[in-house]
Structure 1
Amino acid sequence: MKKLILLVFIILANNAFSQTDFSNQDTIPSPWKKSIETGANINQSSFSPNWKGGGVNSIAMGLLLDGRLLYESSKISFDNVLQLQYGMVKNDNAIYRKTTDKIFFDSKLGYRITEKWNAFVSVTFLSQFAQGFKVVKDSLDRESQQLISRFMAPGYLTSSLGMEYKPVDYFWLRFGVGSFRNTFVTDTTLYRSVPQNYGVPIGKKVRNELAFALTANFDKDIAKNLHLYTRYVMFANYENLKAIDSRLDLTLSAKVNRYINVNLTATALYDQDQDYEIQYTQMLSLGLLYRFSEFDPKK
């Protein structure tokens, strides 16, 4: 199946570039559009030893980089999205803890069949940069760290083939009837602290699954200086349709001025290979943000 997806990808890509006329670039708008968003936020607080109001010295920081590159002609679309996020916090003498850590890349090649329907092939990658720890305390209330994740432990590489419904530019649905996911756990000792080992058999480094994948994406300015991005992914293994994985990512950005933004990010995850309960994370931040985009935010 991987070879089939790769072959279709190459054929469609070749067709996309063959349709581009570079001889009239001065008069014909470029079929390529791009955007980039990069930012940083930092929060710090400190107190004198005799500060009667109480408090804990702390410092927190976060970095992000989001990018998108799109090629679009009358029949062919080639859409690429990259999201990199990392944040951490330290309270007084406590151990540094991550607040966010994400590596996400999605590349989709589509062929328009009708005005609202496309055939597509896609490749998606998801992992994290740094080691992740669970903080545990001993009988003397001393903190220590227990390793529960790291780069490519877990890591997810998903190849998908199916149909896409795109009624408007800011919203689309992908129906990946043939989706092949590789789950990687390159640290073969991780099961000692994560018994389920993210679904990968103990002693192995990868698990392969054939499934149906549903992806919904919404990316639009919902008010003046207020932008909403949300992405939902459902993954249903054909061998076990009772254990359906679901992940919802949401980012709400409010623009204060040209370089200052307030961001609310949240993720909800249900995956029985990790936990039988819903996992969630949320972060609110104020920081510097630079954004350049050739996309019309109203479409």
Structure 2
Amino acid sequence: MLRKLTFVLTLLVSLFGTPTFAQVNLKDLREKPDSKIVNADTIKENAIKQINVPIPKLGLEVNYWKHWTKFGLNANQASFSDNWNAGGVNSMSLMGLFWHKADYTRDRFNFVSELDLKYGKIQNKDQLAKKNNDRIFWDNKLSHKFSEKWALYFSFTFESQFDVGYKYGKVDGEDAIIDTISAFMAPGYFTESFGLEYKPDKTFSLRIGTGTARQTLILDNRIAPKEGGSAVYGVEPGENFRNDLAFQITANLDRDLSKNLNLKARYNLFADYKKLSDPDNRLDLTLTAKITKLVNVTANGILVYDSDQSGKVQYNQGLALGILFSLPR
């Protein structure tokens, strides 16, 4: 019993008696914070100076313009020996083309300018050289989107041709020119249109021009209508200018059918408000098959109905092998 009592007393003394080493060390660490007053001059001398860290300019600029260019040469050739019994005529045709499209898109505004130039001739044996293609087409469109697929647009278009167009016939059994039927700016067309544009994707667009004006000019006296004669391209005798107000529909398609096959089409309906039942129609189709990066085969066709030119449908069709350069590649 005495032994147990001694052990308890010893334990109590060790717990509540003199402070432990750990307790003394903690007490020594509890010091009051330094309360020295720093001199204001010392602050100025030791003040932190502002450092300007140079930040390199990345030189990044947003380019809202996109450009595409195509130019090339198409050719067709056929030759036969003098004793070729199956029949045929030696022929050679060449056609040069240039196409450029510029697109500016920023927020809801879009501007597109498209220039399409073509000129070609064909020469058959014992015949005069004749044009097989001649076109100047320049279309400009400014639009503002008010929804995902619809926009208000204004467009300006110019159309004409480079060279004189002739009517051919036979004189003393030989091929000869018997009349001049067209030339540069004879006719020439300027068209201004305002309306709605539907564009569900980048490959197709449909313009509905409720307010459209077209000016027809004939500036070549060889083609201009003479006094007492009939109208030429809708221009009355003694005049060289005509203005029409009309309703217009223009559809454009530029779509890759496969990796190396592209279809481009443009349809235009122009209905003069004075004769809505007899609208002008034009359809241009171009199918291009790429064989290599430079060589391609092109099939194109044109359908035109314009009662001011002819009471029947006019058509043009061609198939050619050519070299085409595309930028950017």
In which range does the TM-score fall when normalised by the shorter chain? 0.7 to 0.9
Q: Could you tell me which of 173, 198, 213 is aligned with 1:141?
A: 173
- Give 1:176 deviation, angstroms: 0.9
- Mapping 1:281-296, distance limit 5 Å: 281-293=316-328
Q: Could you tell me which of 254, 262, 279 is aligned with 1:219?
A: 254
CA RMSD between the two structures: 1.9
Unaligned runs of 5+ in 1: 1-23, 295-299
1:78 maps onto 2:111 in alignment: yes
- How many Å separate the matches in 2 of 1:232 and 1:51? 43
Residue identity in the other structure for 1:249: D
- How many Å separate the matches in 1 of 2:114 and 2:58? 25
Equivalent in the alignment of 1:106: 139
- How many Å separate the matches in 1 of 2:151 and 2:299? 32
Corresponding pairs, count: 269
- How many Å separate the matches in 1 of 2:305 and 2:251? 16
Q: Could you tell me which of 206, 223, 233 is aligned with 2:241?
A: 206
Q: List per-residue Cα deviations over 1:96-139 (Å, max 9, x = no partner).
A: 1111100000000111111111111110011110001121124x
Q: Could you tell me which of 187, 203, 206 is aligned with 1:170?
A: 203
Q: Could you tell me which of 297, 301, 323 is aligned with 1:262?
A: 297
- How many Å separate the matches in 1 of 2:111 and 2:72? 26
Secondary structure, counterpart of 2:274 in structure 1: coil
Of the two, which has the highest radius of gyration?
A: 2
1:25–1:91: structure 2 CA closer, same or farther, 3 Å change rule? farther
Secondary structure, counterpart of 2:209 in structure 1: strand
- How many Å separate the matches in 2 of 1:135 and 1:256? 37
User: Could you tell me the TM-score, scaled by structure 1's length?
Assistant: 0.85
- How many Å separate the matches in 2 of 1:25 and 1:195? 68
CA contact (8 A) 2:145 2:151 kept: yes
- How many Å separate the matches in 2 of 1:279 and 1:25? 58
- Give 1:163 deviation, angstroms: 1.1
Query: Which protein has greater RCO, CA pairs closer than 8 Å, 6+ apart?
Result: 1
CA contact (8 A) 2:192 2:214 kept: yes
CA contact (8 A) 1:262 1:286 kept: yes
Residue identity in the other structure for 1:238: Y
- Give 1:45 deviation, angstroms: 3.7
- Give 1:27 deviation, angstroms: 3.7
Equivalent in the alignment of 1:4: none
User: Could you tell me the TM-score, scaled by structure 2's length?
Assistant: 0.77
CA contact (8 A) 2:230 2:236 kept: no
CA contact (8 A) 2:180 2:222 kept: no
- Mapping 1:1-299, distance limit 5 Å: 26-27=59-60, 29-51=62-84, 54-138=87-171, 140-145=172-177, 146-190=179-223, 191=225, 195-293=230-328
- How many Å separate the matches in 2 of 1:251 and 1:49? 36
Equivalent in the alignment of 1:19: none
- How many Å separate the matches in 2 of 1:118 and 1:39? 34
- How many Å separate the matches in 1 of 2:84 and 2:149? 63
Residue identity in the other structure for 2:108: K
- Give 1:220 deviation, angstroms: 1.1
- Give 1:58 deviation, angstroms: 2.0
Residue identity in the other structure for 2:240: K
